[in-house]
A = this chain, B = another copy of it.
């Protein structure tokens, strides 16, 4: 069967099975998650055995150690996945929430309620925990899932699907709501992205190349998760005692993730005091610096290693200990730089001046603005969502960390007694 026909069949099976979700009560969906949690714990040895096959292949193929670590499952990690399922089950039911409720002049009762999307496709990389994390979030939000992980995690994903589907078969939920999309062939990704009318939504999580392919080729609605070129702007009225730790935490706490900062912007008025401290602290923390001409002079004066930043530097999401530094004239100047080079993810301002913070919020045009806090707080767990299926980097539908709520759409229910339009 070709990939397009395969995806059509998986989606159609999943959609029919999804009726067992859309008509299930919240307690039934919670029960399904509990069954999955129990099965993950009970069948840990099988899961570990399958994962070991993937790990052996990874070692044979000289996979990067960091990637190997992402692929690895341990007893503790599996227990963590089970705990994650229980956590999701403990959250407020995202379905059937009444968002609007009114009586129209003609007596019609108008309600807007949250409902599932239907069938959601996930495209992700070699982290088998995503298979379970995504499945439980999608089940709890009433959606069937087409899960397309990496071929390097094939054996792990297969056993995880078996365990979860077996668990569902003991509940009122039809196990066919969870479908593993074969990962042997890249054509299944393309087929998923173009299964218009069959798949309601695709969420890609992965490389810039994947996101670009999604943008170019998808005919199914998608939510992009993606690049974060985040900035820390230290305002004229910043408290330096706050600015320095926020800067270091934003850059160095976990440089590989999307909410890490890539560029420091400093107001010209505070640059003479702040820049020498900041450049030295970054340099001491092992951060390679790329500076504009003003900052470069400061670096040279204090013998701190730095190169002159290029256009490419300002646009780059490093993911490692590397950072750009620029001096700007005002909040608007910072916003200009961010508008030119940012990716609308997270922007931080350090200031004691409320007017400056308000103007920064109005101009920053991003998923999250941090006022006197680290960019690293753009995160579902940190924000108290309980679970996160990704961070949306687009403006449509959901913006920033996405929890259960973002996996629902709405419908209008109009109840009448025979009203017609005149």
- A-side interface residues toward B, CB under 8 Å? 15, 19, 22-23, 102, 104, 108, 110, 115, 117-118, 196, 200-201, 215-216, 219, 221, 223, 239, 241-242, 245-246, 248-249, 253, 339, 357, 359, 361-374, 376-378, 382-384, 394-397, 399-401, 409-421
Contact sample, A vs B, 13 pairs, CB 8 Å cutoff: A23-B362, A102-B384, A104-B383, A108-B377, A242-B418, A368-B414, A369-B411, A369-B412, A371-B413, A376-B421, A383-B414, A400-B410, A401-B412
A421 neighbours in B (Cβ, 8 Å): 249, 253, 374, 376-377, 382
Bound-state Cα–Cα, A276 to B15, Å:
35
Which one of B15, B196, B339, B397 contacts A397 once the chains associate, using CB atoms below 8 Å?
B397
CB atoms of A372 and B417 under 8 A apart: yes
Min distance, Cβ A24 to any Cβ of chain B, angstroms: 9
Q: A365-B118, A397-B396 are in contact. Are A373 and B110 (CB under 8 A)?
A: no
A413 neighbours in B (Cβ, 8 Å): 361, 368-369, 371
Bound-state Cα–Cα, A64 to B151, Å:
57
Min distance, Cβ A327 to any Cβ of chain B, angstroms: 22
CB atoms of B246 and A374 under 8 A apart: no
Q: A196-B215, A216-B219 are in contact. Are A246 and B418 (CB under 8 A)?
A: yes
Which one of B108, B221, B418 contacts A241 once the chains associate, using CB atoms below 8 Å?
B418
Q: Closest residue to A420 on the B side, CB-wise?
A: B249
Bound-state Cα–Cα, A123 to B211, Å:
26
A370 neighbours in B (Cβ, 8 Å): 414, 416
Bound-state Cα–Cα, A421 to B420, Å:
57
A363 neighbours in B (Cβ, 8 Å): 19, 22-23
Max chain B C-beta neighbours (<10 A), residue from A253, A366, A396, A413: A396
Q: A363-B23, A409-B399 are in contact. Are A384 and B104 (CB under 8 A)?
A: yes
Bound-state Cα–Cα, A411 to B364, Å:
10
Bound-state Cα–Cα, A200 to B253, Å:
32
Q: A19-B363, A359-B23, A382-B421 are in contact. Are A373 and B416 (CB under 8 A)?
A: yes
Q: A201-B396, A369-B411, A411-B369 are in contact. Are A362 and B418 (CB under 8 A)?
A: no
Q: Closest residue to A215 on the B side, CB-wise?
A: B219
A377 neighbours in B (Cβ, 8 Å): 108, 414, 416, 419, 421
Identify 8 new A-B residue pairs, CB closer than 8 A, beyond the known A118-B395, A253-B420, A367-B411: A104-B383, A245-B420, A253-B421, A367-B412, A371-B415, A400-B410, A400-B412, A401-B412
